[in-house]
């Protein structure tokens, strides 16, 4: 990611999540598992959730490979999902997607917490897909859990 000039503090946080991802691995008792790929960059993420009958996310894991942006984004995302409802998860995904598309309100949204470290990525259109890959998987996981049809990529 040498072409990316992000705020150095933010860059450090991204590298930390890339080197030591949170919630990385597999869930034995996942209720939903979604694999998403970004062929442009070679990113490949599988997201697994365990969702209870009340639509609360009890546990979350992800695995895969790819660039630092895709892996760090997925790692940070998982830290925000435990004990959250599927509605909350969709809301976070929508806010982060808005942030990646340059929405200034989203940039001030504290509920995005460490995800705001990725704000600088919005200036690099080819990398936005990297940052959104985990969130695309999350939205697909919610749709699948609710029995809604998958969106065409
Ligand atoms: Zn990537």
Q: pLDDT band for position 9 (50/70/90)?
A: confident
Distance separating the N- and C-terminal Cα atoms of the chain: 25
Q: pLDDT band for position 2 (50/70/90)?
A: very low
For residue 40, report the distance from its CA to the centre of ligand 1, in Å. Answer: 8
For residue 46, report the distance from its CA to the centre of ligand 1, in Å. Answer: 14
Segments making up each domain of the chain, as ranges: 3-145
Taking the model in full, what pTM does it have? 0.92
H/E stretch holding 100: helix 86-100
Query: Can you name the CATH fold of 3-145?
Result: Sufe protein. Chain: A (3.90.1010)
Q: pLDDT band for position 99 (50/70/90)?
A: very high
**Edge-to-edge strands, sheet with 57-65:** 32-38, 43-51, 57-65
Residues with CB under 5 A from ligand 1 (ion): 41, 43, 67, 70, 130
For residue 31, report the distance from its CA to the centre of ligand 1, in Å. Answer: 27
What does pLDDT average to over the chain?
93
17 CB neighbour count, 10 Å cutoff: 24
For residue 65, report the distance from its CA to the centre of ligand 1, in Å. Answer: 9
Residue 120, CA distances (Å) to 14, 46, 79, 100 in order: 11, 25, 20, 8
| Cα-based torsion angle of the residue sequence 97, 98, 101, 103 in order, rounded to the nearest 10 degrees | -160
């Amino acid at each position: 990611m040498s072409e990316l000039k992000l705020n150095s503090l933010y860059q450090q946080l991204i590298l930390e999540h890339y080197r030591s991802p949170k919630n990385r691995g597999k869930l034995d008792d996942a209720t939903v598992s979604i694999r998403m790929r970004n062929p442009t960059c070679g990113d490949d993420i599988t997201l697994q959730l365990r969702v209870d009958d009340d639509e609360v996310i009890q546990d979350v894991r992800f695995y895969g490979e790819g660039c630092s942006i895709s892996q760090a984004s997925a790692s940070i995302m998982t830290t925000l999902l435990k004990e959250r409802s599927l509605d909350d998860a969709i809301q976070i995904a929508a806010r982060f997607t808005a942030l990646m598309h340059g929405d200034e309100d989203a940039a001030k949204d504290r509920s995005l917490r460490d995800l705001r470290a990725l704000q600088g990525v919005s200036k690099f259109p080819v990398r936005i897909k990297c940052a959104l890959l985990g969130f695309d998987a999350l939205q697909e996981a919610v749709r699948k859990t609710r029995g809604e049809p998958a969106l065409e990529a």
